[in-house]
Amino acid sequence: MGITVFVFDKRVAKAQANYGVWVGREIAAAPKNAWNKLESSSPRLRKWFADMRKTFPLIGESDPDDSYGTEYCFYRNVIDAVFASSIGEEGVRKAWKLAEKHGLRILIGDELLPAAAPRGKRDFHISVLHGAKPDKPGVSPNVCFVLFDPELTRVSPSTARNWDLEQVETGAWSNDPSILSGDRLRQWKDQLAARNLDSLISEMRFYRELIFVRVTQKNGSSMVSPIMELSHRLGLPLQVYVNLA
């Protein structure tokens, strides 16, 4: 059994509740008998493949016994690559690195990988490759709050939840609130600080257009009310997530 990854242009896909469904629709809508033609794919995907084939050549271009020979299927906005299980992690890492280079994204199983590929030898976990990630003993479940300034982002309500997660996962952040670019976000931060709730907060990150707050599940009920009250008062949309990694 091989390791299948889908490489795609997220700018074309835009925000999706389920990128696997979107990929399936793209494949289903593709012209029949064109999946094995490189020209079926967009120029950006073709550039990714041109780099990828240097190490993981198309099956038929390599020796039949070469485990690096890879099956590719070409669609307009998606390339489907199947790596041999024996070199699956190496293939995923290379595909991921080149996807970052060309401004593309990787879907493996139902997992959308972060835009930035890992730099260390093994500083990532992918369920398809490594199995389900075990819970860390002694770590309490968490509740996370994400609020953003709609005047800065222009994000529609229907895509806000996915956009928030994308930013939290891949966006640049800091512990220094000076990174915030919106007055309302700075006001929210200052007003929350005035309530002396720091001891209940496990983590707070500042992004240019949003604020991320993590608390333990035990403290979640104590934080919901003040966070929601301030967000409502300042007109900042709020999303709540449970057990984010």
In a domain, 136, yes or no: no
> Helix, strand, coil proportions of the chain in percent (round to 5)?
40, 20, 40
Q: Is the pLDDT of residue 9 over 70?
A: yes
Q: In sequence order, what are the residues at sequence separation of 6 or more whose Cβ sits closer than 8 angstroms to the Cβ of residue 174?
A: 205, 206
- Residues 122, 190, single domain; the answer is no
Q: What is the mean pLDDT of residues 211-239?
A: 86
**Where a domain ends, among 71, 97, 130?**
130
- Residues 58, 83, single domain; the answer is yes
**Where a domain ends, among 110, 130, 150?**
130
- CATH number for position 179: 3.30.70
Per-residue pLDDT, 133: 56
- Residues 208, 237, single domain; the answer is yes
Per-residue pLDDT, 17: 67
Q: Is the pLDDT of residue 14 over 70?
A: yes
Q: Is the pLDDT of residue 138 over 60?
A: no
Token readout for 142 is 């968490």
Q: What is the mean pLDDT of residues 202-214?
A: 93
Antiparallel, parallel or unpaired: β 111-112 and 142-148: unpaired
In a domain, 93, yes or no: yes
Per-residue pLDDT, 132: 56
pLDDT tens digits, 34-93: 888 999 999 999 999 999 999 999 988 878 788 899 999 999 999 999 998 888 889 999
Task: Compute how many other C-beta atoms are within 10 angstroms of the C-beta atom of residue 59.
Answer: 15
Per-residue pLDDT, 139: 46
Longest dimension (CA), the chain: 67
- Residues 117, 149, single domain; the answer is no
* Helix ranges restricted to H, 53-182: 88-102, 127-130, 150-153, 160-170
- Residues 92, 198, single domain; the answer is no
Pairs from 213-218 (Cβ < 8 Å, separation ≥ 24): 213/144, 213/145, 213/146, 214/142, 214/143, 214/144, 214/145, 214/244, 215/142, 215/143, 215/144, 215/145, 216/140, 216/141, 216/142, 216/143, 217/140, 217/141, 217/142, 217/143, 217/242, 218/140
Whole domain around residue 226: which residue ranges? 142-242
**Where a domain ends, among 106, 130, 154?**
130
CA atoms within 13 A on the CB side of 119: 1
Number of domains making up the chain: 2
Q: Is the pLDDT of residue 236 over 60?
A: yes
pLDDT tens digits, 178-198: 999 889 999 999 999 998 898
- Residues 159, 196, single domain; the answer is yes
Task: Compute how many other C-beta atoms are within 10 angstroms of the C-beta atom of residue 181.
Answer: 12
Token readout for 183 is 């007055």
Amino acid at 183: D
| Threshold 0.85, pTM exceeds | no
In a domain, 137, yes or no: no
